[in-house]
Structure 1
Amino acid sequence: MRKTFQLHVEGKNRDRVLDAVKHEIRKYIKRERRRDLPEGADFWDFDCQFGRTKEDAVVAHLSALTGLINGVAAEGGAQFYVEILAKPGKRAPRPAGEAPRNEADGLDEDDEEGA
């Protein structure tokens, strides 16, 4: 997806347009993740770029896109450019002796310290 989204649309509420843009981006990501993975791939990864225009777009992480979009909207920007390209990803094996993230502190998610 390579697209410039307009936030000022004549006759439409700006907040509704912003919500529709976010919905379109989420829908695209969900659609891409449903595609069949190529041989040897573990998941779909995404290369993203974000900017006010295509020329000043910089690399951004997928999880940061919503915050960047909200930032442009809060500043009163009229448009922004988003580029999201799917690519197959391969998980790297965990180094020996490293604990999984959930078990690093020895507590389950439901446990409280000192309980």
Structure 2
Amino acid sequence: MKKVFNIDIQNKTRERQIDSIKNDIRKYIKREKGKKLPDGFNSWFFNCKFGKTQEDAKEIFFADIIKSVDLAQSENYASFYLEIVATAILKEKKSLNDDESLDKSEN
């Protein structure tokens, strides 16, 4: 998703439009997470960028997407740019033996 979201829309309050934008973002993320992973991968990773314009966009953490939308509302942005790109990755699973050995070494 690479999109400019308009907050100031005629006949809609800012709060209502922000809620609509957040809902669209959550639906997109849910749809991407539900897609079948390519062979050899076991998880999705999201590269995210946020800014007033596409040129000003800076990388943000996935967990900070909604906080960034709230920031746009509090800073009275008329619109903002949000980019979320899903990438398949291979996450290594932590084994219980590794966790136990770390706990023993700390004592």
Task: Find the aligned partners of 1:34 and 1:50 in 2 and give their Cα distance.
Answer: 24
Q: Which runs of 5+ in 2 are unaligned?
A: none
2:98 match: secondary structure: coil
Corresponding residue number in structure 2 for 1:43: 43
Q: Specify the code of the residue in structure 2 equivalent to 1:98.
A: D
Task: Find the aligned partners of 1:12 and 1:19 in 2 and give their Cα distance.
Answer: 11
Deviation at 1:37, TM superposition (A): 0.5
Task: Find the aligned partners of 1:49 and 1:61 in 2 and give their Cα distance.
Answer: 8
Corresponding residue number in structure 2 for 1:33: 33
Q: Specify the code of the residue in structure 2 equivalent to 1:14.
A: R
What is the TM-score normalised by the length of structure 1? 0.81
Corresponding residue number in structure 1 for 2:53: 53
Corresponding residue number in structure 2 for 1:11: 11
Corresponding residue number in structure 2 for 1:108: none
Note the 1:68-107 alignment, pairs <5 A.
Answer: 68-94=68-94, 97-99=98-100
The share of aligned pairs that are identical, in percent, is 35
What is the TM-score normalised by the length of structure 2? 0.86
Deviation at 1:44, TM superposition (A): 1.1
Q: Which runs of 5+ in 1 are unaligned?
A: 105-115
Task: Find the aligned partners of 1:34 and 1:93 in 2 and give their Cα distance.
Answer: 20
Task: With a CA cutoff of 8 Å and minimum separation of 6, indicate the structure with the bigger relative contact order.
Answer: 2
Deviation at 1:93, TM superposition (A): 4.3
Deviation at 1:92, TM superposition (A): 2.6
Task: Find the aligned partners of 1:40 and 1:97 in 2 and give their Cα distance.
Answer: 23
Query: Where is the helix percentage greater, Structure 1 or Structure 2?
Result: 2
